[in-house]
Structure 1
């Protein structure tokens, strides 16, 4: 990607930071509102680029499945999230990869600290976003979260990674 305007970089960074805050504070409705109608939320298993249509993923949700996931989290009956995990996320290495019209591809790294009834876990991730600029900011068309240890057995991902 060629030269990136400071304004675009700032706007994308603020969007990514806001999304992280909404996840960490369990602001489910506000987080869901960040998604485009064409949304894909993907957390692959066993590598960075398996075929999600042919191989297992931890999460591979379309827009309606994202809404159902949020609805389930809000019932209070997700026992692995009763009480909800305490989360703190650090996002870094925000890199704009490509821009085509109103669409921007972005990569980030993140460390997510989770404290819950079973103890403490630190999750390391490499994230890829496809964002679409809209009148009031951005919408997520796609979010791919590659866990650094996704080839190993993991604890439940019952919170929003």
Structure 2
């Protein structure tokens, strides 16, 4: 793999959001390391997803189960299917250690999820903890911090 540049990291974040908007969930899941997690904290500045309740804290197995449910023909809550759109601010590189192949990228976003007549807007920040693995960037942790993380939510069907 060639040297990781700021453009490589920001392009990765944009491509990941596009995969989700296009509902290419199987491709999206391949972006995660085997020990990767998708985390949505329940409290501002929450540091521990294990000892404190989170909105979501899913390993790749749980992500696979959700994706299979979204693909399912008998998932009546997804007929018609939900759709989403990410509007991203320019990502910023929070840290980068090329020697270790570890990078942290933070991106502010507005995310819209819609199904039938209902449209829900979320706003927050995503922090990608990326690692270089087998010549490619992979997500070890995707943390999604919502501005109103402590609000009462309905079902969040897709992935932010």
Corresponding residue for residue 19 of structure 1: 16
Tell me whether 69-78 or 95-104 shows the greater mean CA deviation: 69-78
Tell me whether 20-29 or 109-118 shows the greater mean CA deviation: 109-118
Corresponding residue for residue 137 of structure 2: 138
Contact 1:11-1:137 within 8 A present in 2 as well? no
Instruction: Give the TM-score taking structure 2 as reference length.
Output: 0.88
Contact 2:102-2:130 within 8 A present in 1 as well? yes
Contact 2:37-2:58 within 8 A present in 1 as well? yes
Corresponding residue for residue 154 of structure 1: 153
Q: 50, 53, 59: which one pairs with 1:62?
A: 59
- Once the two structures are superposed, the pairs formed by residues 4-43 of structure 1 within 5 Å of their partners are 8-43=5-40
Aligned-pair distance for 1:82?
2.3
The alignment's C-alpha RMSD in Å is 1.9
Count residues in correspondence. 156
Instruction: Give the TM-score taking structure 1 as reference length.
Output: 0.87
CA 1:54–1:135 in structure 2 vs 1: closer, same or farther (change >3 Å)?
Answer: closer
| Cα offsets for 1:76-133 (capped at 9, x unmatched) | 4444432222211111131111122211011111111222135111110211111012
Aligned-pair distance for 1:39?
0.1
Q: Where do 5+ consecutive residues of structure 2 fail to align?
A: none
Aligned-pair distance for 1:46?
2.6
